[in-house]
Every structure is written in C-alpha cells, then in structure tokens.
Structure 1
Amino acid sequence: MRKCAIIALLSLAATAQAQEFDRATRRLELNATAQSACVLRAPRARAVANATFQTSGDGNVRVGLTRLVDPDTAVPRATSFELAIPATCNASHRVTVTSGKGGLGRIGAATGQGGAQTQGFAEFLPYAVRLDWAGAGIEQASNAGTLGLSIPNGAMGDLALAITTPGGGTPLVAGDYDDTIVIQLQPTD
C-alpha cells in the first residue's frame, strides 16, 4: 500500500510539470527614435527704445526705427531693441544670426557693406548684435559676418537677441534704410 501512494504522488508531480511546459510566452519589443528637432516660436519685445515692434501672423517680426536721424543734423540717433524668442532644441545645436546687408543700408544705394560717403554723408549704418542662449552669449558688429553659438546639448527657454544702432557719427543721406536679420536654430547631431 505504501508503494501505491508513492506512485500516485509522482503522478501528480508529473502533471504539474507538464502544465508548466504548456505555457506559451511571447515578448513584444518596442523601439523608437526621437528625431533631433529645433523650434523657434513668435518673438516678444523685451525692451524697445526709439523703435516700434510688430509681429506678423507667420511669426516674423518687423521693427521700425522711429527716428533714424536727428532732424536738424541728419546724424544717426541711438536705437535699441531686445527680443525674447521662445526656443527648444532637443540635441546639440547651433544658433546663427545673419544680417542680409551687414547693416542698415539705404534702399536704392549703389554700394553694399561699408556704404559710400557722398559729400560727407553715409548710406550705410552698421549696428551691434548680441545673442544670449543656453548660458552662452556673443556680441559683434552686424558687418562682421554671421554671428553663431554652438551648444553641446539640448536647451529650451528664451533666446535673447539685442540690436543697438549707435548715435552720432557721419550724417546719413535722406531715404529709406533697411536690413533683414535671419535667426536659425539647427541641430548638429
């Protein structure tokens, strides 16, 4: 009788083991890639002196200098404005600021950067550009070429761009002056 009991127990153990082997297991692996991306949103005016600030529906900005020159002497007046541009970049990246003309140039003038001086008057006014972003900053004259910062990791917050035109100097020829500033935020990965 003792022998039969042992067989019955072994038979139960074998049944439990068979049930373990009957289990099916599948594994689902998820893979994805977060692409490098940089985004600039619509700028806001932080500080404006002798200028007006207007945003367009597409996120671009038009800044008008209220009084470019003193009405009695035609000598340039000081102007400054600072923009806060909300930005996000999730990888190492480079931000660049490029002036289309290298400064404020008289529309229709025959000369480029540096401007001609006609009978004691100038047709070109360089300005100072300052860029602050992700704990780094750089400043240079608009006619010194592209201004750039390389950031070794991702960052988000407000990119600050400040433009300052000097007061004084050579009087300017009458007319309309313009320039286009392009700001680019680009991943470097």
Structure 2
Amino acid sequence: MKKLLSAAALALLSTAGVAQADDIAFSGQTPGVFGGTSNHSSLLGYAVGVVLSGGVGYNQFGLNAGNTQTASPTVTNTWLIKGTVTKDCSYYGGSSTAHTLDFGTIGVNTNSNTNVNSAFDMVSPATAVVNSTTAGCNFNNTVTLSKQNGAQGLLNGAAGGYDSNEFQANIPYSVAASFQGTTNTSAGAAGSPQTVTAATGDASKVWTGGAWRSDMTLTINAPTPGKALVAGNYQDTLTVELKAL
C-alpha cells in the first residue's frame, strides 16, 4: 500500500487541521475517473483543492485499471493424438511360399503270396509335419486350410481303367494346423492352444479368431485307403491362408 498524497499536500492538510491522509485501498476502476485523467497529479490537485476550500471531512482517493479481459481461473486445451497400424499377417515358410512334400514311393503290398484282399493295398499311412516358427495376424482373422482336389485328396490324374469295386485312384488325407491364439474377436483375451482340422472328408476348413502370434505346426496324415491303389502319380495342392478381416 502507498501514501497517495505528496509531502506538500500532507503539510497543507496538517496546517488546516481538517483533512487526514490515510492508506488508499485500490480497486479496479475505469481510468480517468478524476477529471478525465489517470495520473497521480490530478488526485493530488483534487485533494489540495478540498483543503483550500476550507471543507471539513475525510476523503481517500484511488485509481487502478481493470483486467484487459474477463479473467479465466481455469483454461483447458486438448490434443487428439493419432496414428495407424496396417493390418498384416505372417506365415514364415523359408525363402519361398511354394513348397513340395514328396512322399516318394507310396508303399503297397506287392507280395505275390499275400491274401487277395490285401494285394496292392497301401502298406501304412503317409504322414508329414511342417513347423513354422512365426505365424499370425495383428487383427481379427481367418486361418483357412483348403485342398485343391477337395475330399478326394491326393489324386491319380492318369489312372487308366480299373475295377472300382477293388481299386481307387485317390488317397484322402487330413491336415491340422496347431498354434496359440484366441477365438475372441471383440476384446482382449488370453490365448490358448488352437487347432483347425480339415478331415479326410473335408475339402476345406476355416478358423476365425482375434489377433495372435505363435509358431504353427501342420500335421498331414493320409491313412491307408479302403481299397487297393492304382499305380501312378498322386498329388494335391494344399493351401494354408491367413487373412486379416
């Protein structure tokens, strides 16, 4: 706080004995309330004038400019922070996406002294296992197993003629894909062992789940057929597709 009046004004007030200087409490006012000006000399002149006029009383004078705009005790700004992660699926299969599983010679019963019902039968199931260290998708996805020849499986495309009561020109097979994932497509959920299987009678099979990453194991099994096998080359194309939805 300040004494508003100068030493000269105080002397005049003291001599007259009619006015008293005191601390001034300033509050927000419009500038220039005293004689259209906001300087301290105007206040002093006004005070001296009161004294010289012989008036008796008590006065305090103050001047202060108000806020330049409405005060804001709290102010808030917001930022929307954005970015995009693209959908992606991975299935590591070495340096190529096309592979060959060659069973070589599929053994059949070639013994001449065997029971007629066993002649030319497939000796044992044909099996294969394919391991991949990295597979998965970063969004809801499907894992699809499909056989080009459908439920026929491995097909002999040049079998010639044969007694269809005793022989067949195809070898059905099953395929199973095993991995760690989740079937929850609406929220986070702990992964668990998952297996999608296209059985011998299936042309394809589809699994649907949420984002997952894991190793993947393919197990292929061609059991011995119910009939003897016609000689020739047997083949099929198995496709494993991971697709983000």
TM-score by length of 2: 0.54
Cα–Cα, structure 1 residues 75 and 29, in superposed 2: closer, same or farther, change >3 Å?
same
Question: What SS class does the counterpart of residue 61 from structure 1 fall into?
Answer: coil
Deviation digits for residues 119-154 of structure 1 (CA, Å, limit 9, x no counterpart): 621101101221223222133424422111111x21
* Conserved? CA contact 2:143–2:240, under 8 Å: yes
Residue identity over aligned pairs, in percent, reads: 21
1:171 corresponds to which residue?
228
* Conserved? CA contact 1:128–1:140, under 8 Å: yes
Match of 1:161, as an amino acid?
Answer: L
**Structure whose alpha-carbon radius of gyration is higher:** 2
Deviation digits for residues 23-78 of structure 1 (CA, Å, limit 9, x no counterpart): xxx98754211122112111xxxxxxxxxxxx7x4232210113313251432231
Alignment of 1:1-189 (within 5 A): 2-3=3-4, 30-42=81-93, 57-70=95-108, 72=110, 73-76=119-122, 77-85=124-132, 86-102=134-150, 103-109=153-159, 118=164, 120-133=166-179, 134=181, 135-151=193-209, 153-167=210-224, 169-188=226-245
Distance 1:100 1:159 in 2: 21
Distance 1:64 1:126 in 2: 16
Runs ≥4 residues deviating over 6 A: none
Question: What SS class does the counterpart of residue 108 from structure 1 fall into?
Answer: coil
Question: What SS class does the counterpart of residue 2 from structure 1 fall into?
Answer: coil
Judging by fraction of residues, say which structure has more strand: 1
Distance 2:168 2:120 in 1: 10
Q: Larger relative contact order (C-alpha < 8 A, sep ≥ 6)? A: 1
Cα–Cα, structure 1 residues 149 and 65, in superposed 2: closer, same or farther, change >3 Å?
same
TM-score by length of 1: 0.69
* Conserved? CA contact 1:100–1:180, under 8 Å: yes
Alpha-carbon RMSD across the aligned residues, in angstroms, is: 3.6
* Conserved? CA contact 1:105–1:179, under 8 Å: yes
Distance 1:117 1:162 in 2: 32
| Unaligned segments of structure 2, at least 5 residues | 6-23, 25-64, 69-76, 111-118, 182-192
